[in-house]
Chain A
Amino acid sequence: EDKVVQSPLSLVVHEGDTVTLNCSYEVTNFRSLLWYKQEKKAPTFLFMLTSSGIEKKSGRLSSILDKKELFSILNITATQTGDSAVYLCAGPNNAGNMLTFGGGTRLMVKP
C-alpha cells in the first residue's frame, strides 16, 4: 500500500523566516510527486516532481526530489502571512487513478 508521510505536523514562524517542509513516500512504481497548498478548501497545485535532483522553483517556493531516499522537500523563503496554509504532498498509484496524500503540514506565518 502506498504511503506518504509529512513532517512537521505544524509550524509557526514569523514573516521573513525560511521554512522547510518534508515529505517521505513509499509508492509502488514511482511516477511523480506533487505538492499542493490548501488555504481554506480547494487544494491548489504547486509543483510536480519526476526526476531526482532537479529543483522546481516558483517565486519564493522551491522543491526538490530525492528518488533514491524517497524524499522531497518544499522550501519557502522570506515567508509572508499569505503563505499560511496546509501544505500537502501526494503521489499517484501505479494505475494512475488516484493520489495518496500525506497528512499535511499546517504552516502559520505571524506578522
Chain B
Amino acid sequence: DAGVTQSPTHLIKTRGQHVTLRCSPISGHKSVSWYQQVLGQGPQFIFQYYEKEERGRGNFPDRFSARQFPNYSSELNVNALLLGDSALYLCASSLHGRNTGELFFGEGSRLTVL
C-alpha cells in the first residue's frame, strides 16, 4: 500500500520566487496537514484540510496558502520566498478531521532558498 507521497523531494529556489509542493494522502484518508520543520527543530503546523475545506491554520504569513482537491491530494504554495523559508515541508494524512491520534507523514520536500 502506498503511503503519503510528496513531490518534489528536493528543490532549490532563490529569494522572491514562488514554490508549489504536492502531497497525495494514503488512499481513503480525507485529511491532509502541512508542517514546516526547520533544521534542529520540531515540525510546526501550517495548515489542515479536511474534505477540501481549511480546518486549521498555523501562525504563518499570507505568503503561505494551500488547497485540497476532490481526490484529497493537496498543494502548498509559498510566494515571495525568503531565506527563512528553507526547511523540510512535511505532509501528513489521517482518516478524520480531528487529529487526536496518529498522523501518517510523507518523506517531505526539502526546500532550500538561496
| Residues in chain A within 8 A of chain B (CB atoms) | 4, 6, 31-32, 34, 36, 40-45, 48, 88, 90, 92, 95-104
B42 interface neighbour in A41, A88, A96, Cβ under 8 Å: A88
Query: With A and B bound together, what is the CA distance between A25 and B83 in angstroms?
Result: 31
Pick from B55, B101, B103, B108: contact of A41, CB below 8 A. Answer: B108
Secondary structure call for the B interface = loop
With A41-B107, A42-B108 already in contact, the answer to whether A34 and B102 are too (CB < 8 A) is yes
Interface size class of B (residues with CB under 8 A): 20 to 34
Contact of A95 with B103 at beta-carbon distance under 8 Å, contacts A42-B108, A103-B41 already known: no
CB distance from B3 to the nearest CB of A (A): 8
Residues in A whose Cβ lies below 8 Å from that of B105: 36, 42-44
Q: Name the residue among A36, A95, A96 with the largest chain B CB count within 10 angstroms.
A: A96
Docked-complex contact A43 and B43, CB < 8 angstroms: yes
Evaluate whether A48 and B102 lie within 8 angstroms (CB atoms) in the complex, with A42-B90, A97-B97, A98-B58 already known: yes
Please name the residue on chain B nearest to A50 by beta carbon. B100
Q: Considering only CB atoms, which chain B residue lies closest to A32 in the complex?
A: B100
Q: Quick check: B101 and A98 within 8 Å, CB to CB?
A: no
Contact B99 A99 (CB under 8 A): yes
Determine whether the beta carbon of B104 is less than 8 Å from that of A98: no
Structural contact, A98 and B33, CB atoms closer than 8 A: yes
Least CB distance, A108 to chain B, in whole angstroms: 14
Q: A98 and B108: CB pair below 8 A?
A: no
B28 interface contact, C-beta 8 A:
no
The reply to whether the CB of B25 lies closer than 8 angstroms to some CB of chain A is no
CB closest residue in chain A, given B56:
A97
With both chains docked as a complex, state the minimum distance between the C-beta of B35 and any C-beta of chain A, in angstroms.
8
Task: Say how far A78's CB is from chain B's closest CB, in angstroms.
Answer: 26
Across-interface contacts of B103 in A (CB, < 8 A) = 45, 99
Report the Cα distance A97→B107, complex, angstroms.
Answer: 21
Residues of B within 8 A of A6 (CB): 42
Contact assessment for A101 and B98 in the assembled complex, using a CB-CB cutoff below 8 Å: no
